[in-house]
Chain A
């Protein structure tokens, strides 16, 4: 195969390199956002007294958040995202339990 336009070839190569990198960056941002949301929800649950009223749910939320942070440090963005979403759901349960007992 004969390369007619070296510039076009260079551009195509740069695109091929840049696209996965952009996808990776968006995955990382998505995981970070999910972790931040879960953290905020856990803090709200703590403030509502979930530590006393729903200790099991609160403990699971905290454990899942720790797992999410650990996975993000290991650059496993997908696992980090799913763990953060789990943490957020458990924090929601802890918050609902605390608010229903007030």
Chain B
């Protein structure tokens, strides 16, 4: 009986120590996932340039998200996550006109392919001398 009590107490203690560690690890993984989403958006064409301010703001909010998750403030974490996602979408939206412009712009001029010039090898024949222009020939 004594052994069972001791075992259950040590199990409870282990669970108490391990559970926050796991939670913290999953929180960090989630924040890293959000950072990867920001980087993925940045790698899309035009987004890094047109949505630079929005992506920088989204990155600045990552510590706030981490803090809300560490404090187990579910509602705050949700608000922070939604805000970051909205900022990523805003960055993509800023890049949209640039992408549309690039799609409709005329392609750079490329001359049409020309058929290969054929070279005829003909033996050289000197031109016939023209008759001299005299008054009698007119």
Contact surface of A with B, Cβ cutoff 8 Å: 57, 60, 64, 78-79, 82-83, 85-86, 88-90, 92-93, 95-97, 99-100
Chain B nearest CB, measured from A53 CB (Å): 10
- Contact of B76 with A by CB under 8 A: yes
CA distance A102 to B89 in the complex (A): 18
CA distance A16 to B74 in the complex (A): 30
A82-B64, A85-B80 known; A96-B75 Cβ under 8 A: no
Say yes or no: B75 contacts A100, CB within 8 Å.
Answer: no
- Contact of B84 with A by CB under 8 A: yes
A82-B64, A85-B64 known; A92-B79 Cβ under 8 A: no
Of the stretches B20-28, B37-45, B93-101, B113-121, the one at the interface is B93-101
CA distance A90 to B83 in the complex (A): 7
Say yes or no: B93 contacts A89, CB within 8 Å.
Answer: no
Known pairs A82-B73, A86-B80. 15 more at Cβ < 8 A? A57-B86, A60-B86, A64-B79, A79-B75, A82-B68, A82-B75, A86-B86, A89-B84, A89-B87, A90-B82, A90-B86, A93-B89, A96-B91, A100-B94, A100-B96
Say yes or no: A93 contacts B87, CB within 8 Å.
Answer: yes
Say yes or no: B79 contacts A82, CB within 8 Å.
Answer: yes
- Kindly supply a per-residue 1/0 record for chain B positions 40-70, scoring 1 wherever the CB is within 8 Å of any chain A CB and 0 otherwise: 0000000000010010010001001000100
Say yes or no: B90 contacts A85, CB within 8 Å.
Answer: no
- B residues in contact with A97, CB < 8 Å: 90, 93
Say yes or no: B76 contacts A89, CB within 8 Å.
Answer: no
Chain A nearest CB, measured from B90 CB (Å): 4
CA distance A90 to B76 in the complex (A): 15
A78-B73, A97-B93, A100-B96 known; A85-B86 Cβ under 8 A: no
CA distance A100 to B19 in the complex (A): 47
